[in-house]
Chain A
Amino acid sequence: MDVVTLLWLYILSLVRWLLREAPGLVLDLLKGLPGWLWDFVWFNFKPLLQIIVMPGLAFILLFAMIAVWFERKFLARAMLRIGPFYCGKRSGWLQVIADFLKLFFKEFVIPEDAERMLFLASPILLPTIPALAITLIPFDRNWVLFDAGGLSLPVFLVIAGLAPIIPIFAGWAANNKYTIIGSFRTAYLYISGEIPLVVCAAASALLAGSLDLVDIVEAQRPLWFAVPQIVGFLVFFVGLILEAERTPFDVPTAETELVMGWRTEFSGILFGFTMMAEYVSFLGWTLLFITLYLGGYMGPSLFGVPLYDHVLWMLLKLTVIVVVIVLIRTVYPRLRLDQTLRLGWNYLMPLALLNLFITIALKLWGLMP
């Protein structure tokens, strides 16, 4: 017999083995697993699914990858370039995977004077804390991973407010003047950005009459909060770009002033984690923005008849917001540190308070239910 016939026989026998013998073997293997594991999977099927797929690991990683790819390609098109092209067919969709693989197999340098423990721990904590906050976001009425007992909005704000401490520690731990300047800038930026965000969130909770994010979404059934709270909507939008250190306000990683800000000393996969953290915190604040102002998982109601609620509405809104924010990155240059702080304290803060007073007036006069 020639070689091709032999190969075909081999493949056919392999297929027959897969069809006849392999299922039984797999079943035997599964039967061999301890019973408590099956009970655990059976009774915790939904939370496991949530942790692994939807608001959890797969969703966050996929979002980070797609957002990085889209941003690079979109920026390139806006600059009349092509962007990643040869890596993956024309669209360059494998670019992010190539970057990740390269970073993963690259040496990471720990500086001699660095505080080793903090320096190694901070890139891991950086994406984890915003990812914890994402577990509180309702993706459907019954699809909340972590039930905070009717207090999910304050718990979200507390967890997301913990996140900026990590860059400050990371900058201090690297023991480099650029990282320390960058981390102090992060502190300035977060203080000026987070207080208007919290005031806006408080106004939304007041309008809904509840601190639970599901209740806030349900209260938007007749009308999205973006309409009565148009001021808060805009303030929260600017504040979320400021909070995620996106480009008009990327003062802490200003490449022309500080080398890479608090990221300067991170190399290899540690740097990969810090870049992922930026997208995870961006994702968390954007999801909160959608939940508070754009009706969360609800479809738009046409003439008082709400359309079908689904996770897909959430993803659609997320896509639109991400496109708008990337567009803002392509269009605007970076503000200086003092300009950013002036924006935060002189404009965002009074507007947020004005929004709060408008909300109180609406509630007092009974204009909103």
Chain B
Amino acid sequence: MSRGVSAPIYGVIDYLLTWARKFSIWPIHFVTGCCSPEFMQVSGSRFDMERLGVLPFASVRQCDCIMVVGVISRKMGERVKYLYEQMGEPKFVVSVGACPTGRGPFYDSYATVAIDDLVPVDVYIPGCPPRPEAIIHGLMLLQEKIRKECGFHAGKE
């Protein structure tokens, strides 16, 4: 904790900033596979992810977070990279399910890649497919990560 003389005001700004980022994660669905029905459930009426301020958007420019749902082939991997590079700076990647995390049932295929070979991943959600509760839990873990690491002084504590 070496923050110099004006530590309290930085603390307040950090708190506000991380609070705002934590409660307005706008994800884009990168859906290539059949985990997507589980993911649709999450924005549905039973597991309402808008409670956490998570509001899905269509264009990647407005989003903070890519939810990679489903198996990523080598061709789609390029698209994930493009999308990640098109996003504005505080940006996160959530890998939903076994396929993007570790190639899942297609582990021995020549055409699939794991997502962490392409872009830095913040939260891995296990399951094949993961239940909606697991996806909500993953989003809450992402919120916790943002709260700890996403202020002005990220990584200095």
Q: A residues near B, CB below 8 A?
A: 72, 76, 79-87, 92, 94-95, 97-102, 105-109, 255, 259-260, 263-268, 271
Q: Is the beta-carbon distance between A95 and B61 smaller than 8 angstroms?
A: no
Cα-based distance from A86 to B52 in the complex (angstroms): 6
Q: Which 3 A-B pairs have the closest CB atoms?
A: A101-B20, A107-B89, A85-B51
9 new A-B contacts, CB < 8 A, other than A83-B50, A97-B20, are A81-B44, A82-B48, A86-B53, A94-B23, A98-B53, A101-B16, A260-B58, A263-B62, A267-B61
Per-residue interface assignment for chain B, residues 115 to 153, with 1 indicating a CB less than 8 Å from any chain A CB and 0 otherwise: 000000000000000000000000000000000000000
Q: B residues near A, CB below 8 A?
A: 16-17, 19-21, 23-24, 44-45, 48, 50-53, 55, 57-59, 61-62, 64, 86-90
Give the chain B neighbours of A72 by CB distance below 8 A. Answer: 50, 55
Cα-based distance from A265 to B62 in the complex (angstroms): 8
Main secondary structure of the interface of A (DSSP, over half): loop
Q: Is the beta-carbon distance between A108 and B45 smaller than 8 angstroms?
A: no
For B63, the closest partner residue in chain A by CB is A267
Q: Is the beta-carbon distance between B62 and A266 smaller than 8 angstroms?
A: yes
Cα-based distance from A329 to B68 in the complex (angstroms): 30
Q: Is the beta-carbon distance between A87 and B23 smaller than 8 angstroms?
A: yes
Total A-B contacts with CB atoms under 8 angstroms apart = 93
* Contacts A86-B52, A107-B88, A267-B88 given; does A98 touch B19 at CB 8 Å: yes
Q: How distant is B23 from chain A, measured CB to nearest CB, in Å? A: 4
The listed residue with most B CB atoms (<10 A of its CB), out of A86, A95, A102, A271, is A102
Q: How distant is B157 from chain A, measured CB to nearest CB, in Å? A: 19
Q: Is the beta-carbon distance between A271 and B62 smaller than 8 angstroms?
A: yes
Cα-based distance from A72 to B56 in the complex (angstroms): 13
The listed residue with most B CB atoms (<10 A of its CB), out of A80, A105, A260, is A105
Q: How distant is B58 from chain A, measured CB to nearest CB, in Å? A: 4
Q: Is the beta-carbon distance between B23 and A95 smaller than 8 angstroms?
A: yes
Cα-based distance from A352 to B51 in the complex (angstroms): 43
Cα-based distance from A81 to B44 in the complex (angstroms): 7
Q: Which of the residues A98, A255, A268 comes within 8 Å of B88, measured between beta carbons?
A: A268
For A94, the closest partner residue in chain B by CB is B23
Q: Which of the residues A85, A95, A260 comes within 8 Å of B62, measured between beta carbons?
A: A260
For A253, the closest partner residue in chain B by CB is B58
Give the chain B neighbours of A105 by CB distance below 8 A. Answer: 17, 20-21, 90
